[in-house]
Structure 1
Amino acid sequence: MQASAPPVPKGVVVAKRGERVPNMQLRALDRTRVELPAQYSGRPVLINVWASWCGPCVKEMPALEAFAREQGANGVQVVGIALDDVDAVRAFVERTGVTYPILIDAAGPADAGVRLGNPKGVLPYSVLLSADGLLLKQRIGPFEEGEIAGWARD
């Protein structure tokens, strides 16, 4: 019960609400490098940090996929960051048909979730970024069907 996440390493910037998220480089499933948040600037971004072994993460994926499809080319962009093995994530995406971008990072005290404001490392973890990369909202725990649109709008 007293367990806690390891301390955030010195020099790692943890995002705070109302501030710009730190720049980070992650890999896409095709192994290309993606600069976050720059790659997705110009539109709000819902980033969902998850893992294929996380039951609540897997349960919320259909709701995230439905929301992403509803948004089209001009709405909120949905991006997943899997703290997981790239092969496990590829298999998961193929099996479930997730179409929004999925990036990969290794879980640890300085992973993307930590840098996005979740130093305890609880999954799933979601953030909403403004079109210019400011951290607007944070959420620990899964979304239920139909609640994402209201959360992203309010």
Structure 2
Amino acid sequence: MFNRTNLLIILLAMASAGLGLGLSALLRPAPAPLPAMPSTHSAALAIGDAAGAIRLPDRDGKPRSLSEWNGRLVVLNFWASWCGPCREEMPMLDRARTRYAARGVEVIGVAAEEAPVALAFLEQNPVSYPILINSPDEPPDVSLTLGNTQSVLPYTALIGRDGRILATRMGNFSEQALDDWIAPYL
């Protein structure tokens, strides 16, 4: 049976619980702020920025600078041998290089993996376009520098004849998609 005494006991119990929760919140020390993480990479460049002094080794280990291709429209494609979509688009990129060569377009592949792995893959799957190596254990990650903040492969940056970033794209291309992507810059 419910009477005023029972109601008073329930109200006192609820008031005590509320007071206890309030005091525990007031007396609990504030958590220490998390230390700032040191930056492990430079900020990504944006469309319109100069690609900068990108220098990577080629298939033979010879350092090559992206500026060697100034004056040409450069399709800079980041890939890895373990990436299925990358492997699918490589023959199409090879054909595109041949098709657009007379119009001042160069396709350059950048292997985002260790050189021996990339070179072994290329022996079995040759392409005619230049290949540079951006080994993960040798920073900087050039694709990140050129805007690949999601670390997606394949990733492609279109570098203008003046060395500025014109466009970027995550994911692989069809032949028509590549043609449509570079057409405004020819």
TM-score above 0.5, yes or no:
yes
Q: TM-score, normalising length from structure 1?
A: 0.87
In the alignment, the residues of structure 1 paired with residue 89 and residue 38 of structure 2 have an alpha-carbon distance, to the nearest angstrom, of 28
In the alignment, the residues of structure 1 paired with residue 180 and residue 75 of structure 2 have an alpha-carbon distance, to the nearest angstrom, of 12
1:67-78 map, 5 Å: 67-78=96-107
Does the residue aligned with 1:22 lie in a helix, a strand or coil?
A: coil
1:25-40 map, 5 Å: 25-36=55-66, 38-40=67-69
Q: Which protein, 1 or 2, shows the higher relative CO under an 8 Å CA cutoff with sep ≥ 6?
A: 1
**Cα 1:70–1:8 shift into 2, 3 Å:** farther
In the alignment, the residues of structure 2 paired with residue 23 and residue 13 of structure 1 have an alpha-carbon distance, to the nearest angstrom, of 15
One of 46, 51, 56 as aligned partner of 2:75:
46
AA partner of residue 152 (structure 2):
V
User: Residue 9 of structure 1 corresponds to which residue in structure 2?
Assistant: 40
User: Residue 183 of structure 2 corresponds to which residue in structure 1?
Assistant: 153
Kept after mapping to 2: 8 A contact 1:43/1:131:
yes
Kept after mapping to 1: 8 A contact 2:114/2:136:
no
Structure 1 runs (4+) deviating above 2 angstroms are 6-10, 72-75, 107-110
Provide, for residues 103-148 of structure 1, a one-character-per-residue CA deviation record: whole Å limited to 9, x for no partner: 0012377301001111221110001111111100110000013321
Does the residue aligned with 1:146 lie in a helix, a strand or coil?
A: helix
Runs of 5+ consecutive residues of structure 1 not aligned to the other structure: 1-5
In the alignment, the residues of structure 1 paired with residue 144 and residue 45 of structure 2 have an alpha-carbon distance, to the nearest angstrom, of 8
Does the residue aligned with 1:72 lie in a helix, a strand or coil?
A: helix
1:1-154 map, 5 Å: 9=40, 12-36=42-66, 38-107=67-136, 110-154=140-184
Higher strand share: 1
Q: How far 1:90 sits from its partner (Å)?
A: 1.4
Alpha-carbon RMSD across the aligned residues, in angstroms, is 2.0
Runs of 5+ consecutive residues of structure 2 not aligned to the other structure: 1-36
Q: TM-score, normalising length from structure 2?
A: 0.73
Kept after mapping to 2: 8 A contact 1:14/1:22:
no
